[in-house]
Amino acid sequence: MMRTPSVVVVGSPNAGKSTLINRLSGTRTAVVHEEPGVTRDRKEIDLEWRGRRLVLVDTGGYDTEPDRPFAGEVREQVRAAIDDADLVLFVVDGRAGLLADDHEIANLLRRCDAPVVLVANKVDDPAREALPGELYGLGFGEPSVVSAAHGLGTGDLLDRVLDELEERGVLEEAGGGEATDDTVPVAIVGRPNAGKSSLFNAIAGQPRAIVSELAGTTRDAIDTVVETAHGGFRFIDTAGMRKSSKVQGVEYYAYLRSLQGLERAHVAVVVLDATLGLTEIDLSVASEAMRRGCATVLAVNKSDLVEPDLDELGGIAARKLRQKPLVLAVSARTGRGVEHLLAVVASLDARYTAHIATGELNRALAVLAADRPLPARGSRRLKMYYIAQYQTAPPRFAIDVNDRTLVTRDFGYFVENRLRRRFSLEGVPLIIDFKGRHGR
């Protein structure tokens, strides 16, 4: 089996690259908005077509405007993606014609080693809309005409991509089944400008995400697989998360992508700013990760600037966060604590996906039942007969009781905390179903 080829999608801002990526992959992975320049970082999306696997790489709009925020950083990301490409899709607006940025991109692509397919996007009716003649003068052959918004011509484009890759001999057979992925999915989340992208780059060992002092630089969730001494991780760098009532416009769609990143993750690394401490927004982000079923660890970044009081922060986290996550000091700039963080993430995933023996669970249930009087109402007292785990990732348990209505919220939390302490499940979400005679 050969390696999966990389197909990089490039173009000027708002040429429709992300819309085309979503159409080709059949997903809504890339953030799409009428505002140009939404995509900034490289993002990889798996695709299968005609029994062959590809990786589509979405890139930021190549903008030559010197005053545009992050334009230089985006161009560097685009160049790096082109250097690694097996094939490049050069997307232009097939109705408006070429822009100054398109000519600059064409000059860049003429010097690359990978074949280039010119894609004329936004052509809703090829029979009636003639392509601008200047497209043919770029030297990339006959343009592929598509409308990403309506799906026109996208199948023909994928056929052409496969033909080009077959000539290069770099296609991978799909093999009739799904590709196995033993990596641990980890979402890096936190408030804007906490240093998530810097930490992401420190872990990945290369500048895969744009880093800036301006808050809100990242808009998409970006997956990068990293092999370490602690195993393989699929890290998902996400946009800065605020309270949902505070986000609007394109930031709202980035917020939704961050939530989707949490839903795909086993572990959430909640990045804190050591200069600010543990704020309400940090607690809100950690709680959202728990609601999405993630194990959590709090990584206090910028510890090279301010030495965090981990005992104090850990105490606050234990009081206010139900999962009682571990708090670590890290520095994306110096690399401090990054190795320890990876070890903790691997340990969290092991406990998140582990199955606890039924015998051990029932011994623990007997001990906690003896340590505290069970809830009662009138003359009727709660009895717990049996506990078993029937789900992992996250762990889920069922406890057989005589009457489900006798279980109080306080007692439910007591059982959860005792199980968490007994089986070292700090930071791991637990789901406990009390099953009585009349159901859960």
- pTM to 2 decimal places: 0.62
Cα distance between residue 264 and residue 261, in whole Å: 5
CATH number attached to the domain at 358-435: 3.30.300.20
187-351 matches 358-435 in fold: no
**Helix and strand numbers, DSSP H then E, in the chain:** 11, 18
Average pLDDT over residues 16-27: 84
Which residues fall within 8 angstroms of residue 414, CB to CB, at 6 or more apart? 368, 372
User: In Å, what is the CA distance from 221 to each residue of 79, 160, 241, 314, 430?
Assistant: 20, 29, 12, 28, 26
Residue 46: the pLDDT is 83
Domain layout of the chain by residue ranges = 6-173, 187-351, 358-435
CA distances, 4 to each of 7, 55, 90, 284 (Å): 10, 7, 20, 39
Q: Pick the residue with more confidence: 71 or 59?
A: 59
Mean pLDDT on 268-273: 95
pLDDT at 31 over 50: no
Q: Residues 26, 61: contact at Cβ < 8 Å? A: no
For residues 82-105, give the mean pLDDT.
Answer: 90
Interatomic CA distance for residues 136 and 144, integer angstroms = 11
- Strand runs labelled E in 133-230: 144-145, 172-173, 184-190, 222-228
Report the DSSP beta bridge partners of residue 90.
10, 118
Q: What is the pLDDT of residue 226?
A: 82
DSSP string, 263-306: HH-SEEEEEEETTT-S-HHHHHHHHHHHHTT-EEEEEEE-TTTS
User: pLDDT at residue 219 above 80?
Assistant: no
More confident residue, 326 or 226: 326
Q: What's the whole-number mean pLDDT along residues 389-393?
A: 93
CATH architecture of 187-351: 3-Layer(aba) Sandwich (3.40)
C-alpha to C-alpha distance for 41 and 10, rounded to whole angstroms: 12
Alpha carbon separation from 94 to 7, 149, 161 (Å, rounded): 20, 13, 19
Q: What is the pLDDT of residues 304-319, one digit of tens each?
A: 999 999 999 999 999 9
pLDDT per residue as tens digits for the range 140-163:
999 999 998 888 888 889 999 999
Question: What's the pLDDT at 18?
Answer: 84
Return the CATH architecture of domain 6-173: 3-Layer(aba) Sandwich (3.40)
